[in-house]
């Protein structure tokens, strides 16, 4: 029985969503392949993080040390290399984040293991693993196989897998000591600066109402905002709306925007080009409103309304407000 490693990503004392998404996929693969899931946490004062995921892994290896308080790819690489050499995991999952994009390539060189980046799915096939990636700005979905090796590394795109747990595991938590006494560190942490994310984070919303070029004019976006407010949701958009400067970039869904996984995604006036839908593929339920019955979005949507959005959205908004008033 082999292992699947998941490198836990955390920031400012909180486990990041990409960790839960990777643990979900690791759990699914573990059940199919009869593997176990091992989470690896490097940091300082991180025992609470281990407890938080103890029902999602079979084993959690914790390195808790003041010298690991801030992420350093050079140190992480050396520690994880030692674990890979010792356990020979079948897969090692790393988030395709600023952490992972720095860590994964140097870890691949150090371990001499093949690496696939920005994966949107992982599929077992016969005795090997297939990683699915997008190429040419999402125009092509490529299934990537690996050269024969003792394992492989994959970075996972945020938002493509659910955050739910699979199975009811009870992890053995193993504490390990910082393994180096005189390791030369070539870079040091200065400060953490949170980038301006805007008023809302659409990646965290349970319900998104997304607007596309079918809205016609900028002043009509107020209708979508009122509809989203009535539903208790958040407004998002497709690229043409951002290109016209009608809504800010941080609300854009798609390959050149953000990948989202709300419980409900309502697409209003969006044709459903693959670049946009790639960013919404993790939605639980997709509802489309478009007057073109041949719009590509209807091939993806769970429910569709073929009609003019200016007839449908006001009626839906009024009905929702009526129901909420009791």
d(CA 213, CA 255): 17
User: What integer is the mean pLDDT of 310-317?
Assistant: 95
Fold type of domain 202-325:
Rossmann fold (3.40.50)
pLDDT at 55 over 60: yes
Parallel/antiparallel/unpaired status of strands 14-15 and 36-43 = unpaired
Residue 196 has a pLDDT of: 56
Q: What are the domain boundaries of the chain?
A: 3-176, 202-325
Q: Is 94 helix (H, G, I), strand (E, B) or coil?
A: strand
User: What integer is the mean pLDDT of 185-210?
Assistant: 79
Same fold, 3-176 and 202-325: yes
User: What integer is the mean pLDDT of 142-167?
Assistant: 89
User: What integer is the mean pLDDT of 167-175?
Assistant: 91
User: pLDDT (tens digit, 9 = 90+) per residue, 221-256?
Assistant: 999 999 999 999 999 999 999 999 999 999 999 888
d(CA 156, CA 181): 32
pLDDT at 206 over 80: yes
Query: Which CB contacts under 8 angstroms, 24+ apart, belong to 174-183?
Result: 174/59, 174/60, 174/61, 174/62, 175/62, 175/64, 176/61, 176/62, 176/63, 177/63, 177/65, 178/63, 178/65, 178/67, 178/68, 179/63, 179/78, 179/79, 179/82, 180/75, 180/78, 183/75, 183/78
Residue 195 has a pLDDT of: 57
User: pLDDT (tens digit, 9 = 90+) per residue, 111-134?
Assistant: 999 999 999 999 998 888 999 998
d(CA 297, CA 279): 13
User: What integer is the mean pLDDT of 160-172?
Assistant: 86
Tell me what percent of the residues of the chain surpass a pLDDT of 70. 97
Tell me what percent of the residues of the chain surpass a pLDDT of 90. 72
pLDDT at 197 over 60: no
Architecture of the domain spanning 3-176:
3-Layer(aba) Sandwich (3.40)
Confidence band for 194, pLDDT divided at 50, 70 and 90: low
pTM for the full predicted model:
0.75
């Amino acid at each position: 029985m082999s292992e699947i490693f998941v490198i836990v990503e955390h920031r400012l004392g909180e486990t990041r969503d990409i960790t839960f998404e990777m643990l979900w996929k690791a759990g699914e693969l573990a059940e199919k392949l009869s593997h176990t899931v091992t989470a690896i946490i490097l940091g300082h004062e991180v025992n609470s993080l281990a407890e938080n995921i103890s029902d999602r892994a079979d084993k959690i290896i914790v390195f808790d040390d003041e010298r690991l308080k801030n992420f350093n790819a050079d140190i992480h690489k050396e520690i994880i290399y030692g674990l890979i050499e010792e356990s020979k995991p079948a897969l090692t999952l790393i988030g395709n984040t600023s952490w992972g994009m720095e860590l994964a390539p140097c870890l691949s060189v150090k371990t001499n293991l093949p690496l696939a980046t920005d994966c949107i799915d992982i599929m077992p096939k016969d005795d090997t693993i297939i990683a699915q990636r997008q190429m040419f700005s999402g125009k092509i979905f490529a299934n990537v196989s690996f050269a024969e090796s003792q394992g492989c590394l994959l970075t996972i795109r945020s938002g493509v897998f659910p955050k739910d747990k699979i199975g009811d595991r009870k992890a053995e938590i193993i504490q390990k000591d910082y393994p180096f006494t005189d390791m030369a560190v070539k870079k040091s942490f200065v400060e953490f600066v949170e980038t301006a994310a805007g008023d809302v984070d659409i990646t965290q919303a349970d319900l998104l109402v997304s607007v596309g070029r079918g809205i016609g004019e900028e002043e009509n976006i107020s209708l979508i905002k009122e509809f989203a407010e009535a539903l208790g949701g958040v407004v998002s958009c497709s690229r043409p709306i951002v290109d016209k400067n009608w809504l800010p970039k941080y609300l854009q869904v798609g390959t050149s925007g953000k990948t989202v996984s709300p419980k409900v995604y309502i697409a209003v006036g969006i044709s459903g080009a693959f670049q946009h839908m790639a960013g919404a593929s993790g939605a639980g339920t997709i509802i489309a409103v478009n007057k073109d019955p041949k719009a590509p979005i209807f091939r993806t949507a769970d429910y569709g309304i073929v009609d003019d959005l200016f007839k449908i959205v006001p009626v839906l908004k009024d009905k929702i407000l009526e129901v909420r008033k009791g």
